[in-house]
Structure 1
Amino acid sequence: MEFFLAQGFLLSRHHRDVGGQTEIHLWLTTPHGPAKLVVEGEKPVLMVAREHLAKAKRLLGSLLAESRELGFNNFSHQAVAMLYFPSLEAHKQGQAQLTSNGIEVLEADIKLHDRYLMERFARGGILFDGVAEQKAGYSQWRQVRLKGGDYSPDLKVLSLDVECSAKGELYSVGLYGHGAALVIMVGPPQEAPCQMRWVADEKALLKALEAEITRLDPDILIGWSVVAFDLRLLAKRAERHGMTLRLGRGGEALWIRDATGDGQAFASLPGRVAIDGIDGLKIATYNFESFSLEFVSQALLGRGKKTEDVDNRLAQITHDFHHDKGKLAAYNLEDCVLVWDIFAHTRLLDFLVLRSQLTGLELDRAGGSVAAFTNLYLPKLHRAGFVAPNLPAGGGLASPGGYVMDSRPGLYRNVLVLDFKSLYPSIIRTFKIDPLGLILGLEQEDAIPGFREAKFSRHQHFLPDIITELWQARDQAKRQKDAPRSQAIKILMNSFYGVLGSGGCRFYDPRLASSITLRGHAIMQQTAKWVAEAGHQVIYGDTDSTFVLLAEALSHEQADAIGQQLAADINHKWQQHLKDEFDLECHLELEYETHYQRFLMPTIRGSEAGSKKRYAGMTADGELVFKGLETVRTDWTPLAKQFQTQLYRLVFEDKDPSDFVRQSVEATLAGERDSELVYKKRLRRKLDQYVKNVPPHVRAARLADEHNKKLGKTLKYQGKGSISYLMTLNGPEPLEYQQSPIDYQHYIDRQLKPVAEAILPFVDLDFERLVGGQLGLF
């Protein structure tokens, strides 16, 4: 039995060659302070079919340290040999030599430190042992042994924000958290509203920042665009002064890697992690109309900056730096506090720590669904004696999407929503869908049938068991009301289908993804048949939800009872059906989700056919729910959203909406609703990348920057962002430079009319007839 004396949580991981052999550096936070684990002499590996081994050895010559045959097979059931290399450089050269000579190598892209950790099931929490030596501010361990553990860290967090000129010259850096509320600023000492550290110039500011980071010694640096803006700017200004900015532990340097094309940046900060609030919230599936600090802080905290106008803010920052440094310091520190409070409010670090513990992903890793799946699956696959395939050539084939039933348009009373709980994960559990199970099941007599000629082993698989463990953990998290853990597990479970259907995953196989989605189609269709047999009508179905129409003369309590009974009966039918037809235990779970007292399934615009993924309903407590309609879309104006909400409520409450529609049109034409006419849209690409199709918001953005250029202001819209604009008689114009009269008829025709026409015909009303007389008055 192994005993490990120490435990910690992984912050950063790196590998490199030292003296002709490899070193892996793992930085941890532990109950006794930071620790650096140095793992020496791990040999990078390539895997080739055994039939190519002799040729590979001849080609590699002295690059190769050793080769082994350990009984592994590839997914074509061919024996595989392992080729080990003394260094990362030799591994790189060896891979190039083999591939250029037509020998396929497997698992060549897995980084040395990732392989080392995943093979020891080390994900986040780590148990370790070795020989320790105390260094300045941390312990360093060699002769390391480690394995996965469940240590949950108490992280030291520091919020950082930089203020600068329009040209990037540093004015100040704010630091907040972990006992600090400090602004380092260039300039002579003067009275200020917070703790200050005054420095003579920009270079002195960078040196002071190094000293404060070393003194405070945080595990985590947080901020808003903290990598893409703050740290990247600091690194560039340090380079300008011939400095290496040492913000990592042990005096290690900050290193910024810019991604190609999209402006994204990655920070290497040994011993620490830089986490951007925007990326973190997106990972946790938060969604906002804008991810500016002002917008998000107002949405989550109810407070924010004093202004969000970029031009004014930059001008004000420069003015305050020269004339009121105390005011600038307060502004700088406020940004740090806002970020700190957003992280605390959302428990974002708790979520990211749990994600790391579940998947082995780095705390700052954006996306990473494929890497998470690989971390979980590959070690199990190796222990079964198989190595993973490479990525599919050409990116793979598209897999079928989720089931969407043709809807039956109408305005209804008493509609129930029955929803399968985590349908795709439950299909994986029930039908044993698994990469290894597929290649073994194809050769087994009692295999479970899938789709596209797939067959899955009943007994040899890993993914169904991984799902089961996660499912049970999520149920426990729900019982404990642990929202971050529940959300982290939900995101992970739901990612597995997408991973298996992605050409960016080494385990991609169209038979895997199709056996999930097409099984979902069959489940939804059979469920609808059973609902019909129970005497009810299904008016719509979408992926995992079934919409059931009940009789009109039912109370909410009666509808609830029917919903509960219907879900229970169908669950029983699925259990019996899967036992009888496949001899499988059923993990499908249909839940009664919602009772809509009123429900609208609209038609496709300009057609009598029912729409898909668009509906609205009113629950028993009067809550309005919109799906795919104007109120939930960011490309509609506040006018349309407010109009829709009030109009639908009137119709759902059986009130005549005629006067409201007429008054809304009249007020719009009279200029009384001008504040609600602003469109706000994101620029998904850089402005100069819109060539063939130039939509209205791009035209407005170009006009705005033409004005900015004439006025000598910063060009705001060249590199993505959001633009607010109005439709005028001369076309789209930016809100800040509107010159032409508003085109009110555009808003009647494009905003109010489509909203009204989706629902008025169901109560025998016509928009044009209601407002036709008014339109002629203006």
Structure 2
Amino acid sequence: MHSITGFILTRQAIDTRKGIVLHYWLKTPDGAKQITVYDEKAVFFVESNDSEQAIALIENEGIRLAKVNALNLKTFAQQPVTALYFDLLRDYYRARECLKDHKIKCYEDDFRPEDRFLMERFVTASAEFSIEYVIDEDAIHPHYVAKKCRSVDKDVHQVSLSMVSLDLECSLQGELFSVGLYSHELKGQQVKTVFMIGDESVTSSEKLKQDEIDITLEQVIWCRDEKHLLHSLIDWLNVYDPDVIIGWNVVQFDFNLLQKRCQLHHIEFVIGRDKRPPRWRKQRTSEQHFIDISGRVVIDGIDVLKTATYNFDSFSLENVSSELLGLHKKVDDADNRIKEILDNFTHDKLALAAYNLQDCRLVTLIFEKTQMLEFAMLRAELTGLSLDRVGGSVAAFTNLYLPKLHRAGYVAPNLGDGMKGLVSPGGFVMESIPGLYKNVLVLDFKSLYPSIIRSFNIDPMGMVEGLRDKSNAIEGFDGAYFSRDKHFLPDIINQLWRERDKAKIDNNAALSQAIKIIMNSFYGVLGSTGCRFFDPRLSGSITKRGHELLNTTKDWIEDKGYQVIYGDTDSIFVHVGDDLSEKECNALGKTLASYINEKWQQTLKARFAIESELELEFETHFLQFFMPTIRGADVGTKKRYAGLVNKNGQQQLVFKGLESVRTDWTQLAKNFQRELYQKVFAQQPVEEYIQQVVKQTRNGELDDQLVYRKRIRRKLEQYVKNVPPHIKAARLADEQNKKAGKPLKFQNRGTVEYYLTTSGPQAKGYVNAPLDYDLYVERQLKSVADAILPFIDTNFDKIVDVQMQLF
């Protein structure tokens, strides 16, 4: 017997004549290997008081029970449970539905065996399997049968995953034109390949070069028809054998269409490493599809960027590659991309190949720039989530928590088991004191909610144990008490915290980001009704403690003689006076942070007999700072401010929640705001600048900055009442498209760019009326200016009226 260690690529459980069989694909230093585990069973739990009735109901339905076992486990309500085991998944699911129909509660009935097998062994992504025998050792991917499995340290076992980017081009009807494949290294070579229907006679040159994409006729694989292209692509994937396939909307569009075209031509889409077609799943609550390919992972660039908390005005490949890389898709007319693709397919296939390959290359460069594959692998190592999992905060928490809970003698609760009727508040936001300030310090609690969890031992099982014995427990809020020694979540966060500190020392940005997202998600998980551990006493004991911490910190700072002008969730904004130098402000910020940290250590030890894990940091010194009022009122805003900071010797503007960082304002408003605020902060005259921008706007000199951009979140037909401007623009544009016999662009979500005209909102490219410059001046320029001008004793109308009197 020997062992095999590797990174888990895919996992699956299937019913066979021998019972449930688990299949895992591992990437090892020697390549990809298939591991099979036999004799596993599916299991859920019922309260022991219900077990006899449950067994009778199951047997009456003709469902086969493999085993019944009364365990030394109990529910959070202290009820003992019995485990029901099944040899087949179909029996497991039938039994679950049967018991639910008869109002018998099943616990942990939503874990698939392939996931539970790993979870109960504390396996996340790197695993060591003890091999019993080999089925086919001489195959390209040997097939091993294993019985035991254990977790291994990710630092001990490191593998690299091969990656290829895939993109296809097609007609509006879904007929394939070409499929591009790009990789910096696959099988020891760079890949720049395009499968193209047709022949080389339809080209304008023998070579094209565009944005570092060199493509020659030799790199195009000519296919006589669509059927030939599909067979060629399938063969290529099996020969070049990538671990990971990436793309842009690659599952919902590219693979979905490839599957449909294979079905049309009666072709088996055999792209798995076991020479089997992929398995498709559909989300019950949406139209989203998921693809499972044995031994290969498909990662969508849009999904993984969102998971890593990236945010863009638009997640189109053109926009993201432009913002991140400064590169663009190879298309001359973005608004008529489909027409250009069709023209190139008809008249210049090499140009289409270059366009296709450029899309593949851009996705590859985005992944490399953002370290998205590394991020996905590290996230899998930390949480047990599969590489292609979108979101998954609840699953990540459960993967880490459940095996510890079982060893403490509990089964997990079900959705809805937590206390009802309570609502825990969100993060604390102080009333702001509006104004223009000099020298504002921002003091920030480092990872506040995880720190509260660590300090006060907030934990689902810890609350159950704390409520059983309040005498030595830590009091929370809303009647919650937390055990001082029986808990898991604080220890999980401590471990992640240490890992993040190490990642920062090692300059491992992808790992640091992955850990930060996971740690910060744990409060959200406990506060989410979609989590089985949800209880408002848990989330309330975090957020209400945060409120108390900020209010008390504010009092302590003001006792020192400084003015707190704002506070938000984990940050305190302190005005320390106009006379201090930058050096003095930085020293004071560190002094205040140290003072507050010491105060909390003393206070928590005296009040709760606990060690404080809270850490207030001096984060920012604003040389100039502006806190606006709510528009049309004297009350200060929340989550909206601007300031001037010194960063590496350069003064920079910082905006939060204002027009310059919002996606629903024009570039005119953003540019105007940045320049105006810069002048105000520098105490420079603003009248001439404002008058100049107004004049340029009215003269049509800034038309390129007047575009609004807004997402269409539903189908156009679903907007009935209070139709917003961008929907009106989209409808008018598609009416024009319909009359002209062109494809409808805006019916099913997407993004629309539009102008405000004298005839109302009109989409870019469909404008047939003069732009309404008065409206732009009123809504964009005046709105921006009058937020800050009253604080320097003037206003927009006064400045513009002076200009108008000159004409």
Q: Mind listing any 5+ residue stretches in structure 1 that lack a counterpart? A: none
User: Equivalent residue for 2:537?
Assistant: 511
> Using the alignment, how far apart are the partners of 1:506 and 1:143 within structure 2?
32
**Would the aligned equivalents of 1:106 and 1:387 in 2 still touch at CA under 8 Å?**
yes
User: Equivalent residue for 1:106?
Assistant: 107
Q: Do structure 1's residue 371 and structure 2's residue 374 form an aligned pair?
A: no
User: Equivalent residue for 1:419?
Assistant: 444
Farther off after superposition, 348-357 or 131-140: 131-140
Cα deviation digits, residues 453-485 of structure 1 (max 9, x gap): 000000000000000000010011001110000
User: Equivalent residue for 2:246?
Assistant: 222
Q: Do structure 1's residue 136 and structure 2's residue 139 form an aligned pair?
A: yes
State which of 148, 155, 174 in structure 2 corresponds to 1:168. Answer: 174
User: Equivalent residue for 1:624?
Assistant: 653
Give secondary structure in 2 for the equivalent of 1:77.
Answer: coil
Give secondary structure in 2 for the equivalent of 1:481.
Answer: coil
**Alpha-carbon spacing, 1:4–1:657, altered in 2? closer, same or farther (3 Å):** farther
User: Equivalent residue for 2:212?
Assistant: none
User: Equivalent residue for 1:664?
Assistant: 693
Per-residue deviation at 1:252? 1.4
| Aligned residue runs from structure 1 range 590-629, under 5 A | 590-620=616-646, 621-629=650-658
> Using the alignment, how far apart are the partners of 1:363 and 1:326 within structure 2?
35
Cα deviation digits, residues 672-693 of structure 1 (max 9, x gap): 2111111111112222221112
**Would the aligned equivalents of 1:686 and 1:720 in 2 still touch at CA under 8 Å?**
yes
User: Equivalent residue for 2:472?
Assistant: 446
Give secondary structure in 2 for the equivalent of 1:759.
Answer: helix
Give secondary structure in 2 for the equivalent of 1:502.
Answer: coil
Per-residue deviation at 1:393? 6.9
State which of 696, 718, 721 in structure 1 corresponds to 2:747. Answer: 718
**Would the aligned equivalents of 1:37 and 1:144 in 2 still touch at CA under 8 Å?**
no
User: Equivalent residue for 2:196?
Assistant: 185
User: Equivalent residue for 1:434?
Assistant: 459
Amino acid across the alignment from 1:533: D
**Alpha-carbon spacing, 1:32–1:374, altered in 2? closer, same or farther (3 Å):** same
User: Equivalent residue for 1:123?
Assistant: 124
Give secondary structure in 2 for the equivalent of 1:712.
Answer: coil
> Using the alignment, how far apart are the partners of 2:750 and 2:806 within structure 1?
40
User: Equivalent residue for 2:581?
Assistant: 555
Farther off after superposition, 461-470 or 76-85: 76-85
**Alpha-carbon spacing, 1:379–1:92, altered in 2? closer, same or farther (3 Å):** same
Normalising by structure 1, report the TM-score. 0.98
| Aligned residue runs from structure 1 range 88-99, under 5 A | 88-99=89-100
> Using the alignment, how far apart are the partners of 2:735 and 2:285 within structure 1?
24
Cα deviation digits, residues 184-226 of structure 1 (max 9, x gap): 1111355563312222111111100110000000000011111
Give secondary structure in 1 for the equivalent of 2:146.
Answer: strand
User: Equivalent residue for 1:581?
Assistant: 607
User: Equivalent residue for 2:22?
Assistant: 24
Amino acid across the alignment from 2:666: T
Q: Do structure 1's residue 532 and structure 2's residue 558 form an aligned pair?
A: yes
Per-residue deviation at 1:20? 5.7
> Using the alignment, how far apart are the partners of 1:443 and 1:308 within structure 2?
70
User: Equivalent residue for 1:386?
Assistant: 410
Cα deviation digits, residues 581-612 of structure 1 (max 9, x gap): 10101100000001111111111111101111
User: Equivalent residue for 2:314?
Assistant: 290
> Using the alignment, how far apart are the partners of 1:710 and 1:775 within structure 2?
43
**Alpha-carbon spacing, 1:261–1:101, altered in 2? closer, same or farther (3 Å):** closer
**Alpha-carbon spacing, 1:58–1:256, altered in 2? closer, same or farther (3 Å):** closer
Q: Do structure 1's residue 766 and structure 2's residue 766 form an aligned pair?
A: no
Q: Do structure 1's residue 328 and structure 2's residue 360 form an aligned pair?
A: no
Report sequence identity in percent.
51
> Using the alignment, how far apart are the partners of 1:690 and 1:533 within structure 2?
54
**Would the aligned equivalents of 2:417 and 2:532 in 1 still touch at CA under 8 Å?**
no
**Alpha-carbon spacing, 1:443–1:769, altered in 2? closer, same or farther (3 Å):** same
User: Equivalent residue for 1:493?
Assistant: 519
Farther off after superposition, 125-134 or 548-557: 125-134
Per-residue deviation at 1:667? 1.6
> Using the alignment, how far apart are the partners of 1:262 and 1:752 within structure 2?
41
User: Equivalent residue for 1:12?
Assistant: 10
**Alpha-carbon spacing, 1:262–1:742, altered in 2? closer, same or farther (3 Å):** farther
**Would the aligned equivalents of 1:307 and 1:313 in 2 still touch at CA under 8 Å?**
yes
> Using the alignment, how far apart are the partners of 1:318 and 1:744 within structure 2?
38
Amino acid across the alignment from 1:122: V
Amino acid across the alignment from 2:197: V
User: Equivalent residue for 2:38?
Assistant: 40
Q: Do structure 1's residue 203 and structure 2's residue 227 form an aligned pair?
A: yes
> Using the alignment, how far apart are the partners of 2:64 and 2:626 within structure 1?
69
Q: Do structure 1's residue 475 and structure 2's residue 486 form an aligned pair?
A: no
State which of 133, 146, 149 in structure 2 corresponds to 1:146. Answer: 149
**Would the aligned equivalents of 2:418 and 2:535 in 1 still touch at CA under 8 Å?**
no
> Using the alignment, how far apart are the partners of 2:617 and 2:327 within structure 1?
38
Q: Mind listing any 5+ residue stretches in structure 2 that lack a counterpart? A: 208-214
**Would the aligned equivalents of 2:431 and 2:636 in 1 still touch at CA under 8 Å?**
yes
User: Equivalent residue for 1:268?
Assistant: 292
**Would the aligned equivalents of 1:99 and 1:105 in 2 still touch at CA under 8 Å?**
yes
**Would the aligned equivalents of 1:223 and 1:336 in 2 still touch at CA under 8 Å?**
yes
Per-residue deviation at 1:670? 1.8
Farther off after superposition, 424-433 or 528-537: 528-537
Matched residue count: 776
User: Equivalent residue for 2:165?
Assistant: 159
**Would the aligned equivalents of 1:416 and 1:595 in 2 still touch at CA under 8 Å?**
yes
Give secondary structure in 1 for the equivalent of 2:199.
Answer: coil
Misfit runs of 4+, over 6 Å:
393-396
User: Equivalent residue for 2:772?
Assistant: 743
Amino acid across the alignment from 1:136: A
**Alpha-carbon spacing, 1:471–1:636, altered in 2? closer, same or farther (3 Å):** same
> Using the alignment, how far apart are the partners of 2:199 and 2:709 within structure 1?
43
Cα deviation digits, residues 109-133 of structure 1 (max 9, x gap): 1111111110111111111121223
> Using the alignment, how far apart are the partners of 2:44 and 2:601 within structure 1?
46
> Using the alignment, how far apart are the partners of 1:387 and 1:258 within structure 2?
29
Give secondary structure in 1 for the equivalent of 2:142.
Answer: strand
Q: Do structure 1's residue 339 and structure 2's residue 339 form an aligned pair?
A: no
State which of 489, 493, 515 in structure 2 corresponds to 1:463. Answer: 489
**Would the aligned equivalents of 1:159 and 1:339 in 2 still touch at CA under 8 Å?**
yes
**Would the aligned equivalents of 1:23 and 1:40 in 2 still touch at CA under 8 Å?**
yes
State which of 721, 725, 729 in structure 2 corresponds to 1:696. Answer: 725
Amino acid across the alignment from 2:454: R
**Would the aligned equivalents of 1:259 and 1:265 in 2 still touch at CA under 8 Å?**
yes
Cα deviation digits, residues 253-287 of structure 1 (max 9, x gap): 02333445754221111110011111111111111
State which of 427, 441, 457 in structure 2 corresponds to 1:402. Answer: 427
| Aligned residue runs from structure 1 range 227-242, under 5 A | 227-242=251-266
> Using the alignment, how far apart are the partners of 1:196 and 1:56 within structure 2?
63
**Would the aligned equivalents of 2:10 and 2:26 in 1 still touch at CA under 8 Å?**
yes
| Aligned residue runs from structure 1 range 44-83, under 5 A | 44-61=42-59, 63-83=64-84
Amino acid across the alignment from 2:370: T
Cα deviation digits, residues 345-400 of structure 1 (max 9, x gap): 11110000000000000111110000000000000000101000110179966421
**Alpha-carbon spacing, 1:548–1:45, altered in 2? closer, same or farther (3 Å):** same
Cα deviation digits, residues 19-72 of structure 1 (max 9, x gap): 161011111111111111111121111201111111112112252111111210
> Using the alignment, how far apart are the partners of 2:529 and 2:730 within structure 1?
36
User: Equivalent residue for 1:649?
Assistant: 678
User: Equivalent residue for 2:210?
Assistant: none
